[in-house]
């Protein structure tokens, strides 16, 4: 019997692209499977996921503005609407499992799935787990982590160290390094340092690198 999976995660590429990688891996393992995404209306997943070839349902959910919490007065109302829509989707699709890759976009559908007794899996890409994943991980069947020290945020008996899912394009032969440098406008004979922060960028890392170079 063909399986059905719902995948959710969004807001940033750090949540979306691992989710798409998981979807592609599931499709390879279960060619007849139905895979459907849930994301936040107006966010980048609403275009990135269809571009990757998967259908997506958008729900009106938003994160809390921690610097100006009074601007988040409508978040509880959005959450109630999102939960209602997710419940209808789950009842109609009857998924075998719901997978979340983090971010507030994954909250409503995984929370509702847990209330309805549907198996859930949380995938945590960071060494310091996000709030949504920490809360959902308490009742998830499995929590897949990228780093060993992320296990401290979750029930130890359900943690699986899997590493981060990556897109297939990065597993194939990479182009010549010097060619890449030239295309980016750098001198091929000089060393090139790439600095990456997490999520939307880490200003502290950028400042320290610039200070110590």
The rounded distance, in Å, linking the Cα atoms of 116 and 85 is 14
Name the architecture of domain 4-169. Answer: 3-Layer(aba) Sandwich (3.40)
Q: Which residue has the tokens 């029930």?
A: 155
Sequential DSSP letters for 7-48:
EE--SSHHHHHHHHHHHHHHHHH-TT-EEEEEEETTSTHHHH
Contact 26, 123 (CB under 8 A): no
Taking only the tens of pLDDT, the chain with its 213 residues reads 789 999 998 878 888 999 999 999 999 999 999 999 999 999 999 999 999 999 999 999 877 667 787 777 787 888 899 999 999 999 999 999 999 999 889 999 999 999 999 999 999 998 889 899 999 999 999 999 999 999 999 999 999 999 988 877 777 777 788 888 999 999 999 998 888 776 556 777 888 888 887
Judged by DSSP in three states, 124 sits in strand
Domain boundaries, the chain: 4-169, 173-212
Give the pTM.
Answer: 0.82
φ, ψ of residue 10 to 5 degrees: the values are: -175, -170
């Amino acid at each position: 019997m063909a399986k059905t999976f719902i995948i959710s995660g969004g807001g940033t590429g750090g949540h979306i692209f691992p989710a798409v990688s998981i979807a592609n891996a599931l499709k390879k393992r279960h060619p007849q499977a139905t895979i459907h995404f849930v994301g936040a209306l107006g966010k980048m997943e609403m275009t990135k996921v269809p571009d990757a070839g998967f259908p997506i349902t958008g729900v009106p959910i938003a994160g809390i503005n921690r610097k100006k919490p009074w601007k988040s007065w409508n978040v509880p109302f959005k959450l109630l609407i999102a939960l209602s829509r997710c419940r209808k989707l789950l009842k109609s699709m009857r998924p075998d499992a719901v997978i979340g890759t983090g971010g507030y976009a994954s909250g409503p559908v995984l929370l509702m799935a847990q209330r309805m007794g549907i198996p859930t899996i949380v995938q945590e890409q960071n060494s310091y787990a996000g709030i949504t994943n920490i809360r959902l991980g308490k009742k998830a069947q499995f929590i897949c982590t990228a780093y060993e020290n992320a296990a401290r945020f979750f029930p130890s008996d359900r943690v699986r160290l899997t590493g981060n899912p990556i897109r297939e394009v990065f597993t194939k032969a990479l182009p010549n390094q010097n060619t890449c440098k030239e295309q980016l406008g750098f001198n091929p004979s000089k060393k090139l340092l790439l600095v990456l922060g997490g999520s939307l960028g880490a200003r502290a890392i950028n400042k320290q690198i610039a200070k110590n170079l």
